[in-house]
Amino acid sequence: MKNLLLRIYDYFAVHRRALWIGFAVVFAALVALAATLRYNEDIMDFLPITEEERAALDAYQSQDAAAQLVLIIDGGEEDRRYDALDEIEVLLSAQGYQLSLEMDPTEQIAELYAQLPCLIADSVYDRFDSLFTPEAVRAALLRDRTILNTPGSSFLAPAIQNDPLGLVQLPSFQTSLASSKNYAFLESPYGGTETQKNAALVDSLQDATEAIAASFPELNIRWTGAPVIAVGNARRIKTDTLLCISLSAVLIILLLAYAFPRRRDICLILLSVSVGWVTGMAVLHMITPAVSAVVLGIGSVLIGIAVNYPLHLLVHQRYTSSVRQTLDEVLSPLIVGNITTVGAFLTLVPMQATALRHLGIFASAMLVGTILFCLFVLPHLMSADPTRIREIKFPFVHRTSSSAHCPLYIVHFTLFLCTILAGLYLWLCPYDRFDSNLNHINYMTAQQREDMSAFDVKTDDAARWADYWSSHDPQALIATIRNEAAAAGFRPEAFQPFYDHLTSVGKDATTISVGGLMAKISERLSDNFDYIGACCSLIVFIFLWISFKRFSLALIAFVPMALSWIWILAIMQLCSLQFNIVNIILATFIFGQGDDYTIFIVEGILYERRTGKAILPQYSQSIILSALIMLIGIGILVFAVHPAMHSLGVVTLIGMVVVLLMAFTVPPFLYSMWQKISNNKYVSTTDY
């Protein structure tokens, strides 16, 4: 393949006009396709859900609770709180908003307990048998009587009617209702998903309440609810994105300007990545008419990978006498690295989540487009003069051959010892690598989390309730409660709502348990995480074996990536960090970068052994530049406030440092050990 590409280079070196006409036609077609691609902002595209489950989530989003804004007033005396509510009602009525001032705790609790089977935690299900004995029922009913005889607790009567045995624990909700707070409600006319329109509504409501709050300095008046949280998330993401992108753009430009004093080289790097980006968008358009805008936002991470290809060519030209010689020495690692990385991203295509499939297609097409431009067009744009760059030093990189490139054996021993300890730590202290709680990547202020906790109820799959009663007799429990009710001072019919829950098992098959649905989705996401890791590893190793034609050389190139994941998982566990629905995508990105770096180091070692020319310093410089760009571009998100964006930065920072360390230290050491074991002084050209 290398000889074929060199012959193509020789042909176009003579027939430049054919090259430029062909490139102009192809690029114009790609731009036309990319320009007509439409975008949407449906975050559910990232969830591995079926059409039925999507309909269920849409139905939940359309419910009143998802569109309800809550006005909370606390502090001060009760009369002052009601005065403030009255003034806010008058002001909002003048603006056309209807505020529901009265919150009847009895109605709220009755409505909440209407979904009793969905409110019971797994730990309570495990104790069902012990909770339904006559002795336990008697104790529960006596406890209920004591609660109802307590002054001010009459509003809990609906909870006891629906749940006399205390199967559901809602201390936060009950405490909030009984505390010195006043609540009022307003339903957004835009629903819970129209963030842009809700933003204007929230601003209007906050301006109105701030005007009233000036007359009540002793009160704390604020809005919360799903629309308020959604607006806060959107604004936090925009703020963090603008700040981080601005900062990273400045730092990357400064880095490139430092490394490449000649502005022409910087323009060629940007042109190469731009062609790849347009290619990715054009291919997406041929597969789907619309794509999530978030896909392209996350796809910006690919710049850190795609920039590898022009970087390697431009940096390596500094050490050669011609562009053709540069191609001859760089083609093999470029092609092998590209194919393995594209293969890693193609593992996203079979996934159930639509956005992840699109991301895999976009990433693969972008990298293929970039490498094709770098192989066929970029060499003819490069100056015949050696590229001038400034070297960036790295502690483990030396300017001599691979024998000196490898640090002292004590360093390698320390690395392997740490790897063994990390592996033992993961084995002895297993942990849940995937965080399935989607609320953990939701941005809320401390006050909002406290307010929302008053209405936040853990929901589990209602099917668990039906499964239990399919093998137990609900009538027996009803009879037990009726028998014990009289002794506790209750009428046998006092708990009819609870009896209805027991006798209606299996009758309402259409009830949607959002908590159970999200649990299933989270379980699939965790399975996808394992799938991505296994498939990436298998694809990369197989192609390395095919490329190097030796199992031992493929192993030398693959081991650093395997060790990197052990380190990454151990560091994340030590720091109490987990993968989630957002940063799980970085698994393929980090793997793609890691195999690129390792392949270049191994190819460099083989080239040095075959020719005697020290080529690793050139490879090392482009690797360092690429890693720094990736760290700056995505690692800068570690300073973001939004949890999801911050997690992207943290994982990138950990992953890139680890894969860079492993790429520079492990392959030279393993190769030298393999030489000693096999008694080979060099590897012939037939070995790869």
- Between 176 and 489, residue with greater pLDDT: 489
pLDDT at 438: 66
Confidence of residue 174 (pLDDT cuts 50, 70, 90): very low
Q: How far is CA 592 from CA 46, 50, 365, 618, 652, in A?
A: 21, 29, 14, 20, 12
Confidence of residue 20 (pLDDT cuts 50, 70, 90): very high
pLDDT at 686: 37
What is the pLDDT averaged over residues 464-483?
Answer: 85
Confidence of residue 22 (pLDDT cuts 50, 70, 90): very high
Determine phi and psi for 187, rounding to 5 degrees: -90, 125
Highest mean pLDDT among 116-125, 169-178, 415-424, 536-545: 536-545
- Residue 110 confidence (pLDDT) above 80: no
394-430+511-688 under CATH 1.20.1640.10, yes or no: yes
* Segment 282-301, tens digit of pLDDT: 998 998 887 776 676 666 66
pLDDT at 462: 60
Name the residue ranges covered by the structural domains of the chain: 1-36+265-384, 121-167+463-510, 394-430+511-688
Confidence of residue 41 (pLDDT cuts 50, 70, 90): low
* Segment 216-241, tens digit of pLDDT: 888 888 888 888 888 888 788 778 87
pLDDT at 406: 43
Confidence of residue 44 (pLDDT cuts 50, 70, 90): low
Confidence of residue 175 (pLDDT cuts 50, 70, 90): very low
HSE-CB of 176 using CA atoms within 13 angstroms:
20
pLDDT at 386: 59
- Between 404 and 654, residue with greater pLDDT: 654
- Between 529 and 645, residue with greater pLDDT: 645
Confidence of residue 6 (pLDDT cuts 50, 70, 90): confident
CA angle 98, 101, 105 (to 5 degrees): 135
Task: Round to whole Å and give the CA distance between 602 and 667.
Answer: 6
Task: Round to whole Å and give the CA distance between 39 and 198.
Answer: 21
Q: How far is CA 366 from CA 21, 296, 371, 372, in A?
A: 22, 11, 9, 10
What are the structure tokens assigned to 406, written together?
């490898």
What is the pLDDT averaged over residues 534-549?
Answer: 80
| pTM (two decimals) | 0.71
Confidence of residue 82 (pLDDT cuts 50, 70, 90): confident
Q: Do domains 1-36+265-384 and 394-430+511-688 have the same CATH topology?
A: yes
- Residue 481 confidence (pLDDT) above 70: yes
- Residue 31 confidence (pLDDT) above 90: yes
- Between 463 and 253, residue with greater pLDDT: 253
Superfamily of domain 1-36+265-384: Multidrug efflux transporter AcrB transmembrane domain (1.20.1640.10)
pLDDT at 402: 42
Confidence of residue 517 (pLDDT cuts 50, 70, 90): low
**641 by DSSP, 3-state: which?**
coil
Least confident segment among 304-308, 361-365, 456-460: 456-460
